[in-house]
Amino acid sequence: MNLSFISSLMDQYFGRMLSLMNNKELPARIRFLLQDMVELRDNNWVPRKAFIDNGPKTINQIRQEAVKDLGVFIPATMAQGMRMDFFLEGPFMPNRMKMETLGGLADMFGQMPGGGIGTGPGVIQDRFSPTLGRHRSNPLFNVNGHNGHNTAPQPQSPFEIGANKSFIKSNQNHQSQQQQVQSNKDMPPRFSKKGQLNLEEISLRPAQSFLLNKNQVPKLQPQIPTMIPPSAQPPRTNTPPLGQSPQLGLKSNPPHIHEKPHKTSKKPPPAREELLKMTETVVTEYLNSKNIDDAVNGVREMKAPKHFLPEMLSKIIVVSLDRSDEDKEHASTLIHTLRTEGLVTGDNFMQAFLNVLDQCPKIEVDVPLVKSYLAQFAALALISELVSVSELAHPLENGTHFPLFLLCLQQTAKLTDKEWLTDLFQQSKVNMQKMLPEIDQNKDRMLEILEGKGLSFLFPLLKLEKDLLLQIKADPSPQAIYKWIKDNISPKLHTDKGFVNILMTSFLQYISGELCCVEEEEGSGGEEQAVGPSKEQLDQEKQLLLAFKPVMQKFLHDQPQLQVSALYALQVHCHASHFPRGMLLRYYVHFYDMEIIEEEAFLAWKEDITQEFPGKGKALFQVFFWLGWLLSLMIFMAFL
């Protein structure tokens, strides 16, 4: 792979691998494999050390590694019988003592007889060496100087005999202990255990070291010199010195056991019937005395469980239904105050409101206008922000308890400003059509119902759609249209997408009516009409667009988002007319040539993926090539 005639290709290949290795988007596993291959080539195809097998090592290699770890070098000849004159020729050692192989770790690291294996804590002493424990060839463990065979003792000088007597005497006890250990090793385990345990010597009493009193002085307590003057000595306390752990032991006096007082059994909460009776009493006294503090304290003292709170609020509403409007307002004030004090929540009120609605068939026998009264409670809850419009509307969708939701809005409009209610309703994003019965869920029927309830002000654009088209038919001049819009439509709506949609729809409907271009539906609803407009109709269409151009530019100039809304209005108009041949493309060309809609708005409409307006797919199909030409033109103009 390193041949000269392919080196350029290999460099290019590994350069590509290097660039991919630095790409953070690839998984770490792939980048590591690429890095390993690149480094393998840089190292002349020598694999990493981790992939080399560790074979057997010689004793010299093991000693060298031990030197690296311990930092001490001992020649190998010391473990092979070399005589250490410095240690063995003293006046207290026999001059004929020979080095023998100790075996085990001592042979590996060249350890000296008489010393432990290793240094520091945890050193392995000679008495644990298996070589010195079993074989008696060592003169230190042989009193007669022989190894147990029938060999004659070697002659010794008087000096050596005198020096050995004290040494042998001091080692007699140790030798007897070693023989006892050796005899135990030769015995089977079951006999050695019996020999170690005697029933008379077994004691279940704790060791004496555990029976320490508090006043006992620890053994390791540092001694204070007695010659120091009393003024220089530290005070004598029972507290152990700093850094010394306190002595552990059994206390002479057991701690006093504090008896816990008996828990008083909690009083069970009152029953449901009792709570309902207490609630009725509190509400009745409050409506008579109008003392809201006493009513709140009475509800607090009831200590009603959480699952009972909706039923308690339902009782408050039901008790006040057959009273005056003033009492109903006071009952609503009580509910709002309970919410302010943290005793109830908005969810509790909605559950109570729905519970009373379920009881309406029974309550209507005594209170025929129960829904109107409930609408008043809901209106006061909206005004006090106890619940929101969306929370109130959710359980009443699809005409549930119709027309209760409209009655709630009616009562709110009576108690507050209409503009405030309009803003509140628009912020809630509630679909008014879904609040009607399924048979009435269309714009025309909805507008008719809202006008009957006096709520058409909530949807000013719906009424505008009919009125604007009538005004254009009455006087199609641009000056009259603009003056009517300025006088009848709030300036805040001039930049609203819905207003622009209605404005463009009204213009398109008027032009189509003038041209008589809309024909009866033929075949399937999506088929295009076979016959297009005549040349005179096309000229008239262009002239009408030029007449409405000032009004369109007034509300669409420098407003790309509003221009996109105008294009969607054109899309819906063509979809409703089953896309007459060439209509959408003609209007796109007219809007572009008349500078009513800018290039950015066309491309924004193309890229938008909203599903709110129907017919987007077929509209894109009809103007696809024209949009491509527009995009290429914009790119060409950008390079000029």
Does 382 map to a domain?
yes
Amino acid at 571: Q
Buried b (16+ CB within 10 A) or exposed e, 439-457: eebeeeebbebbeeeebbe
**pLDDT of amino acid 571:** 94
pLDDT over threshold 70, residue 306 = yes
Same domain, 388 and 480: no
Query: Please, are residues 63 and 76 in contact by the beta-carbon 8 Å criterion?
Result: yes
Assess whether pLDDT exceeds 50 at residue 593. Answer: yes
Question: Cα separation of 338 and 345, whole Å?
Answer: 8
For the chain, what is the radius of gyration of the CA atoms?
A: 53
Domain assignment of residue 171, given as a range: 59-149+157-180
d(CA 166, CA 578): 128
pLDDT tier, 472 (very low <50, low <70, confident <90, very high otherwise): very high
Query: Which pLDDT score is estimated for 443?
Result: 81
Q: Cβ of 28: how many Cβ atoms within 10 Å? A: 8
Q: pLDDT tens across 390-416, in order?
A: 999 999 998 888 889 999 999 999 988
Beta bridge partners of 124: 117
Please state the rounded mean pLDDT for residues 625-639: 89
- The 3-class secondary structure across 482-506, one letter per residue, is HHHHHHHCCHHHHHCHHHHHHHHHH
pLDDT given at position 30: 93
pLDDT recorded at residue 508: 93
pLDDT above 70: percentage of residues in the chain:
64
Residues 346 and 429 in one domain: yes
Domain membership flag for residue 135? yes
Residue type, 509: Q
Grade residue 323 by pLDDT with cuts at 50, 70 and 90.
Answer: confident
| Same-domain pairing of 440 and 489 | no
> Residue 541 pLDDT > 50, yes or no?
yes
Range of weakest confidence among 55-64, 380-389, 617-626 = 55-64
Kindly tell me if the per-residue pLDDT of 507 is higher than 80.
Answer: yes
CB 375 within 8 A of CB 408: yes
Q: Please, which pLDDT band fits residue 65 given cuts at 50, 70 and 90?
A: confident
Same domain, 423 and 481: no
Measured between alpha carbons, how far is 343 from 521 in angstroms, rounded to an integer? Answer: 63
The Cα–Cα gap between 242 and 178 comes to 43
Q: Judge if 455 and 478 occupy the same domain.
A: no
Is 251 inside any structural domain? Answer: no
Of 250 and 569, the one with more pLDDT: 569
Task: Quote the CA–CA distance of 436 and 452 in Å, as a whole number.
Answer: 14
Residue 261 confidence (pLDDT) = 54
Q: What pLDDT, on a 0 to 100 scale, did the predictor assign at position 637? A: 83
For position 621, what pLDDT does the model report? 92
DSSP for residue 250: -
Q: Is the pTM of this model over 0.85?
A: no
- Token look-up 């001091």 returns 170
- The backbone torsions φ and ψ at residue 15, rounded to the nearest 5 degrees and listed phi first, read -65, -40
Section 284-307 average pLDDT: 88
Mean pLDDT of the chain, nearest integer:
75
Is 36 part of any domain?
Answer: yes
Which amino acid, residue 408?
C
Same domain, 75 and 47: no
Q: Show which of 428, 460, 492 is a domain's final residue.
A: 460
Point out the domain boundary residue: 460, 486, 509: 460
Q: Give me the mean pLDDT over the 449-475 stretch.
A: 87
Residues 31/20, Cβ–Cβ less than 8 Å: yes
In Å, the largest CA–CA distance within the chain is 152
Domain match, 418 and 486 both: no
Collapsed DSSP state (helix, strand, coil) of residue 39: helix
Q: Which pLDDT score, from 0 to 100, does residue 83 have?
A: 46
Single out the residue of 496, 393, 514, 406 nearest to residue 452, CA to CA.
406
Residues near 508 by Cβ (< 8 Å), separated by ≥ 6?
569, 570, 573
Per-residue pLDDT, 246: 46
pLDDT score of 251 more than 80: no
The answer to whether residue 241 is domain-embedded is no
Is 467 part of any domain? no
Residue 363 has pLDDT above 70, yes or no: yes
Nearest 5°: phi and psi at 124? -95, 110
User: Based on the structure, what is the number of domains in the chain?
Assistant: 4
Clarify whether residues 453 and 476 are in a common domain. Answer: no
Q: Say yes or no to pLDDT of 550 above 90.
A: yes
Considering the domain boundaries, does residue 616 fall inside one?
Answer: yes
Residues 477 and 364 in one domain: no
| From 190-199, 260-269, 287-296, 538-547, the region with the lowest mean pLDDT | 190-199
- Residue 278: count other Cβ atoms within 10 Å of its Cβ: 18
Residue 260 lies in a domain: no
459 is written with which tokens? 């949807």
What number is the average pLDDT over the span 379-396?
A: 90
Residue 318 pLDDT greater than 70, yes or no: yes
Report for 6-10, 369-373, 493-497, 550-554: range of highest mean pLDDT: 550-554
CATH code where residue 374 lies: 1.25.40.180
Q: What is the mean pLDDT of residues 289-308?
A: 88
45 & 83 share domain: no
In this structure, the chain runs to a length of 640
104 pLDDT exceeds 80? no
Give residue 207's pLDDT.
Answer: 52
Per the structure block, which two tokens stand in for 548?
């409405």
Same domain, 164 and 300: no
CA distance 231 to 239: 19
The verdict on 83 and 132 lying in the same domain is: yes
Q: What is the pLDDT of residue 85?
A: 47
Boundary (domain end) residue, out of 460, 486, 507:
460
- Tokens standing for residue 526: 């999506």
Structure tokens at 365: 């026998």
How many percent of the chain have pLDDT more than 90?
Answer: 22
